[in-house]
Amino acid sequence: GQQVMQIPQYQHVQEGEDFTTYCNSSTTLSNIQWYKQRPGGHPVFLIQLVKSGEVKKQKRLTFQFGEAKKNSSLHITATQTTDVGTYFCAWSPYLLEYGNKLVFGAGTILRVKS
Amino acid sequence: DGGITQSPKYLFRKEGQNVTLSCEQNLNHDAMYWYRQDPGQGLRLIYYSQIVNDFQKGDIAEGYSVSREKKESFPLTVTSAQKNPTAFYLCASSIRQGARMDQPQHFGDGTRLSIL
C-alpha cells in the first residue's frame, strides 16, 4: 500500500530560526493538504497542493509539492512562538463522490524557544 | 457563525459501558468523519459518512458504531468492545467533492475520553 513518511517527528528551534517538515511518499499523490494543530486544539486546514512542482506561500509559510508529486514540504521562515504546534500532511488514496477519505501523516511537533 | 460542535469536551467511561459522543455541524456539509488521535500521533479514521443514511468503516472501526439520520448530526458510540478507548476524538466535515479536487476538512474541538 501507499506509504507516506513525515519527518522529522519533533523539532525544537530558537525563535527566529527556520523550520521545515517533509512528507515523502513511495507512490505518486493526487494532491496533498497541510494542517496545523495547536497544543490542546484541533487540526486547522492550511493549504492544498495539486499541481506538480507547485509552490504556495502564506506570509512566512512556504508549501511545495515535488515535481514527481511524491514529496511535499512546509517551510516556516523566522519562526515565532505562535508557530508552536503539530503540522500534519494529509492525502486521499482515492476520491469519493461526496467527500474525501484523508490519510494523515504522523505529524511534526514544533516547539519554539523564545 | 457556522461550525462543528462536539460534546462533551471530557467524558469518562466505566468498564462495560457504552458512551456516545455528539457531533453537530451547521455548515451544510454533506460528508462527516470521525477520527481518533492518541498522544503524539496522527489521526486515524474510524468512520465516515458521505450522505445521510450512509456511512462506511474507516481504518479502525472495531468497537465503534455510528449513525447518520440527519445531515447535521453524526454521533459516535464507543462500545464496551473497544478495549482501549482512551483517546482524543475528533469529528470533521467537508463539502461535496468537486471534480478531481479534495476539499478541506473542518474539525470540531474534540472530546477527550478516559476510562474510569
The yes-or-no verdict on residue A95 having pLDDT over 70 is: no
B84 burial via Cβ count (<10 Å: 0-12, 13-18, 19+): exposed
End-to-end CA distance of chain A: 41
Write down the pLDDT at residue A30: 87
A99 touches B: beta carbon within 8 Å: yes
Q: How far apart, in whole angstroms, are the C-alpha atoms of residue A64 and residue A22? A: 10
Name residues whose C-beta falls within 8 Å of residue B114's C-beta, 6 or more positions apart in sequence.
Answer: B10, B11, B12, B13, B86
Q: Grid coordinates in use for A2?
A: 501507499
pLDDT band at A1 (very low <50, low <70, confident <90, very high): low
List the single residue in A50, A98, A106 with the smallest CB-CB distance to B41.
A106
- Which residues does chain A have within 8 Å of residue B48's beta carbon, measured at their own beta carbons? 99, 101
Torsion over CA of A47, B104, A92 and B100, rounded to 10 degrees? -90
Q: How far apart, in whole angstroms, are the C-alpha atoms of residue A113 and residue A46? A: 23
The yes-or-no verdict on residue A92 having pLDDT over 90 is: no
Write down the pLDDT at residue B16: 87
Contact A23, A37 (CB under 8 A): no
B94 touches A: beta carbon within 8 Å: yes
pLDDT band at A3 (very low <50, low <70, confident <90, very high): confident
- Alpha-carbon torsion A56, A42, B6, B115, what sign? positive
Q: How far apart, in whole angstroms, are the C-alpha atoms of residue A70 and residue A16? A: 30
Cis peptide before B39 (omega within 30 of 0): no
Question: Can you list the residues of chain B whose pLDDT is less than 70?
Answer: 1, 97-102
- Which residues does chain A have within 8 Å of residue B109's beta carbon, measured at their own beta carbons? 41-42
List the single residue in A33, A50, A106 with the smallest CB-CB distance to B104.
A33
Chain A: residue whose CA lies nearest to B30: A98
